[in-house]
Amino acid sequence: MVNPFQYHADISQFKITQLEQRNGWIHNTVEFPIAFPGLFQESNTAFGEYFKSNSTQKSPLVILVHGWGDHSVIPMRFLARKLAAAGTHCFLLYLPFHSRRLPTEMKPRSPNLTQDEWFNGYRIAVTDVRQVIDWAMKREEIDIQKVGYIGLSLGAFVGSIVMGIDSRIRAGVFIVAGGNSAKIQQHSRFSKFRKQYRFETKDYEDYQTSYNQYLSQIPITGWEKVEPARQSFLIDPLTYAHLLKERPVLMLNALWDEFVPRETTLDLKNAYATCEISWFPANHPSIWLYYPLIAKRIQQFLDKSFK
């Protein structure tokens, strides 16, 4: 299975329910069946919130995806409301790792998941985003030539993959993100994460040698045609970064990020080539202390990208 993200597009079962109407936007909930039922046991339904702008013209759509932990939805929802009020439709998608979607058996173990569970979660998340774009293509209010993505942490990792394999996403914003997942695991200063996922030195060196060889092959042959030595190569943001070189990317990162090492952020930025980056004097969660600056920076970036 070289390409685990192939799926059958079906938007007929998207269920939209209006919750409230505000000045500038309408808040809706959305449910739809995932493309790969059974991968996460009973978790076969995707959930999201659609903030439909009251703009009278076709307007851009931005898909927002949160990070690890239910609390990370909150700043993304604030951002979605702000963008919708300014005229951009926003779809806030819940990751398969959100408690609302995570299977009952997996919740007590979270985030200590197996490699297969992580892989399947990423696979579902990537195709969920692509299904939202399929749905958006049939919406009269959306300018399908102006689809953007905003991802936070885990949502940014997913976004780099999606944007690499789906050219319909024209611009991406990745908040506290990095590439080379094994390097993140090995050098992260987040103690709980290191205890669970850190490699033995020899295993880490072998991993990096194999991954670097893989990275050198895929731009020439195409990632769909190169068999990865490890399944995890297919869910690493760095694998797809070279495919984003012709599209605008903005990275917003924390100077003292204890989860994502600075080196891995720069690895990803350099692979994007055309990427803009801003650093904030914060750690991984406290970057949201700069929400006003972040929101302004994102709005400016989207306006320029969709001009």
Which of 269, 237, 266 shows the shortest CA–CA distance to 250? 269
* pLDDT in the model for residue 110: 82
Backbone angles phi, psi at 91, to 5 degrees: -120, 110
Cα separation values, 196 from 141, 193, 283, Å: 45, 5, 21
96 neighbors 127 (Cβ within 8 angstroms): no
Q: How far apart, in Å, are the Cα atoms of 177 and each of 58, 213, 305?
A: 31, 23, 20
The pLDDT of residue 165: 96
- Looking at the DSSP bridge assignments, the partners of residue 30 are 16, 48
What is the predicted pLDDT for the residue at 195?
62
Per-domain residue ranges for the chain? 15-194+234-305
Res 263: pLDDT = 96
Please tell me the distance from the alpha carbon of residue 145 to that of residue 58, in angstroms, as a whole number: 10
Q: Single out the residue of 55, 57, 60 nearest to residue 306, CA to CA.
A: 60
Quote the tokens at residue 101.
Answer: 């979607």
Asked whether 153 and 175 are in contact (CB, 8 A), the reply is yes
pLDDT at position 152 is 98
- What is the reported pTM? 0.95
**pLDDT digit string (tens) for the chain, length 307 residues:** 579 999 988 888 999 999 999 888 999 999 999 999 888 877 899 999 999 999 889 999 999 999 999 999 999 999 999 999 999 999 999 999 999 998 888 888 888 888 899 999 999 999 999 999 999 999 999 999 999 999 999 999 999 999 999 999 999 999 999 999 999 988 888 656 666 667 888 999 999 999 999 999 999 999 999 999 999 999 999 999 999 998 999 999 999 999 999 999 999 999 998 899 999 999 999 999 999 999 999 999 999 999 8
Residues written for the chain:
307
Q: What pLDDT shows up at residue 193?
A: 61
Angstrom distance (rounded) from CA 8 to CA 36 = 9
CATH superfamily of 15-194+234-305: Alpha/Beta hydrolase fold, catalytic domain (3.40.50.1820)
